[in-house]
């Protein structure tokens, strides 16, 4: 039976799948659950320790989704129910991870355990039971670009081969062990190697995803509102928090690092293609990003300031940004990726996927969401904080 009349890229009917989605309650998981529920007939076993971001889908599932999605509150570190869920599913997608840079140098043990040790049983259960695995890695496995080791004004820095990141060719270049920032990248690299080796030696059907800064609504948390007051989320939420509180955006080490940002809804299209086209996706590692949306972090701050003024109607501050050192902001052991341009050749060839949304448009949608969702709660929280 086809899944809601869906066909794959080769014209074949897509059979309905049961998908065990680990980390379904996170940013990417919540968007993937929504997409699968809205556009397919696949069944989702949603696994996470939190369900807030998918409450509208699982608590309880609305009548039209009865039997399509169920929530399993469990910690994959130590829960024997995990193996049963993997066995019940045709496909497992593992999104679970500690993946906020502020944790990499301050909680390196938790970071390594979460991204390597805790992922091991998932790989093992898939391999032993002949189940397909889509494992979420990161663009950070590339580390720094080759060009970053050249002098600042060296002409070779402008040559694509010195900075474009290609799945099966580019090296993984991390800093020294004392720069604990790389604990995450290193753990992700080792789990990638393990998944790849299970494919090579034991025939595991796998796909590895390397997200390049996927952003959009529901990413991370706003400190003091739906996350810890002292917590440091990823840059989209940090800058949103600053804008909501009318405080300057903090540029770490001058905001010179460059990133490419892709809209979460574009990226989810790529994941759905991987789910429904196993013959084209298995055995591959895919970059998923938008090379056309490159900015420095400083430019991102300027753009977000301008877009937020438009969507909120509040004029920007006279001094909208301030510089902070990495040590001050993240503590000892922080380091940074200089530039992240994904090579899109492979995903384009295998799955015909291309990102669509320009940065300005995705920031407008996202900041409209942030303003609507958080402005009142931030005001209340600020009043309470000054009253105590």
Binding ligand NAD (rule: CB under 6 A), the pick from 3, 14, 21, 27 is 27
In which residue are the tokens 């990133």 written?
259
Q: Which is nearer to ligand UDP, 206 or 330 (CB)?
A: 330
What tokens appear for 325 in the block?
A: 């050192």
If one asks whether residue 95 binds ligand NAD (CB under 6 A), the answer comes out as yes
Q: Exposed e or buried b for every residue in 65-76, given b needs 16+ CB within 10 A?
A: beebbbbbebeb
Q: Which is nearer to ligand UDP, 217 or 255 (CB)?
A: 255
Query: Which positions ≥6 away from 16 have C-beta within 8 Å?
Result: 1, 2, 3, 4, 40, 41, 42, 43
Which of 27-35, 251-259, 333-341, 376-384 is the region at the interface with ligand NAD (rule: CB under 6 A)? 27-35
User: Taking CB under 6 A as the rule, which mask of x and - marks residues 257-296 in contact with ligand UDP?
Assistant: x-x-------------------------------------
Which of 90-98, 153-161, 244-252, 278-286 is the region at the interface with ligand NAD (rule: CB under 6 A)? 90-98
Closest by Cα among 185, 220, 180, 202 to 331: 180
Which of 20-28, 251-259, 325-333, 367-375 is the region at the interface with ligand NAD (rule: CB under 6 A)? 20-28
Binding ligand UDP (rule: CB under 6 A), the pick from 213, 240, 277, 370 is 213
Q: Which is nearer to ligand NAD, 20 or 28 (CB)?
A: 28
Helix (H, G, I), strand (E, B) or coil at 133: strand
Report, as residue numbers or ranges, the catalytic residues: 184
Q: Give 178's Cβ-side CA count (13 Å radius).
A: 1
What tokens appear for 344 in the block?
A: 């899109």
> At its nearest, how many Å lie between ligand UDP and the CB of residue 336?
5
Closest by Cα among 227, 223, 260, 249 to 308: 249
Strand partners, 208: 135, 285
**What is the Cα–Cα distance from 268 to 246, expressed in whole angstroms?**
32
If one asks whether residue 188 binds ligand UDP (CB under 6 A), the answer comes out as no
**What is the Cα–Cα distance from 263 to 32, expressed in whole angstroms?**
13
Strand 43-48 relative to strand 69-73, pairing: parallel
Binding ligand NAD (rule: CB under 6 A), the pick from 19, 28, 112, 249 is 28
Binding ligand NAD (rule: CB under 6 A), the pick from 19, 44, 69, 76 is 76
Tell me: cis bond preceding 60? Omega within 30 of 0 counts: yes
Strand 294-296 relative to strand 258-260, pairing: antiparallel
What tokens appear for 279 in the block?
A: 């013959």
User: Taking CB under 6 A as the rule, which mask of x and - marks residues 199-238 in contact with ligand NAD?
Assistant: ------------x-xx------------------------
Site residues (CB under 6 A) for ligand NAD, limited to 40-69: 48-50
Phi, psi of 352 (to 5 degrees): 60, 25
If one asks whether residue 382 binds ligand NAD (CB under 6 A), the answer comes out as no
Q: Which is nearer to ligand NAD, 25 or 320 (CB)?
A: 25
DSSP assignment, residue 147?
G
Q: Give 163's Cβ-side CA count (13 Å radius).
A: 22
Q: Which is nearer to ligand UDP, 83 or 299 (CB)?
A: 299
Binding ligand NAD (rule: CB under 6 A), the pick from 17, 21, 25, 343 is 25
Binding ligand UDP (rule: CB under 6 A), the pick from 132, 135, 157, 250 is 250
By the criterion CB under 6 A, which residues form the site for ligand UDP?
101, 140, 213, 234-235, 238, 250-252, 255, 257, 259, 297, 336-337
By the criterion CB under 6 A, which residues form the site for ligand NAD?
23, 25-29, 48-50, 75-77, 95-97, 99, 114, 118, 136, 138-139, 211, 213-214
């Amino acid at each position: 039976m086809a899944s809601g009349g869906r066909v794959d890229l080769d014209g074949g009917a897509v059979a309905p799948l049961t998908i065990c989605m680990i980390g379904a309650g996170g940013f990417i998981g919540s968007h993937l659950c929504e997409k699968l529920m809205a556009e397919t007939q696949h069944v989702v076993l949603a696994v996470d320790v939190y369900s807030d971001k998918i409450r509208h889908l699982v608590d309880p599932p609305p009548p039209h989704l009865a039997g399509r999605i169920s929530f399993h509150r469990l910690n994959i570190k130590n829960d024997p129910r995990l193996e049963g869920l993997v066995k019940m599913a045709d496909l497992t997608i593992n999104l679970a991870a500690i993946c906020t840079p502020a944790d990499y140098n301050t909680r390196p043990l938790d970071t390594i355990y979460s991204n390597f040790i805790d992922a091991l049983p998932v790989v093992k259960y898939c391999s032993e039971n002949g189940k397909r695995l889509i494992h979420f890695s990161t663009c950070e496995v590339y580390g720094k670009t080759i060009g970053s080791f050249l002098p600042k004004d060296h002409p070779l820095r402008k040559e694509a081969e010195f900075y474009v990141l290609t799945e099966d060719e580019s090296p993984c270049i991390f800093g020294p062990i004392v720069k604990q920032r790389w604990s995450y990248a290193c753990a992700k690299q080792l789990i990638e190697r393990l998944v790849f080796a299970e494919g090579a030696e034991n025939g595991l059907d796998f796909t590895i995803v390397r997200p390049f800064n996927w952003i959009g609504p529901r990413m991370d948390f706003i400190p003091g509102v739906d996350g810890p007051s002292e917590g440091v989320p990823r840059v989209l939420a940090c800058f949103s928090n600053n804008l909501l509180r009318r405080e300057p955006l903090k540029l770490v080490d001058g905001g010179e690092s460059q990133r490419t940002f892709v809209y979460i809804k574009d990226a989810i299209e790529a994941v759905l293609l991987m789910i429904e086209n196993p013959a084209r996706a298995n055995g591959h590692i895919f970059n998923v990003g938008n090379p056309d949306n490159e900015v420095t972090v400083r430019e991102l701050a300027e753009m977000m300031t301008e877009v937020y003024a438009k969507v909120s109607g509040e004029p920007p501050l006279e001094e909208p940004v301030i510089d902070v050192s990495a040590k001050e902001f993240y503590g000892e052991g922080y380091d940074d990726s200089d530039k992240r341009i994904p090579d899109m050749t492979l995903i384009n060839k295998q799955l015909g996927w291309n990102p669509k949304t320009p940065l300005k448009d995705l920031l407008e949608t996202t900041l409209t969401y942030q303003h609507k969702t958080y402005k009142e709660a931030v005001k209340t929280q600020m009043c309470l904080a000054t009253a105590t």
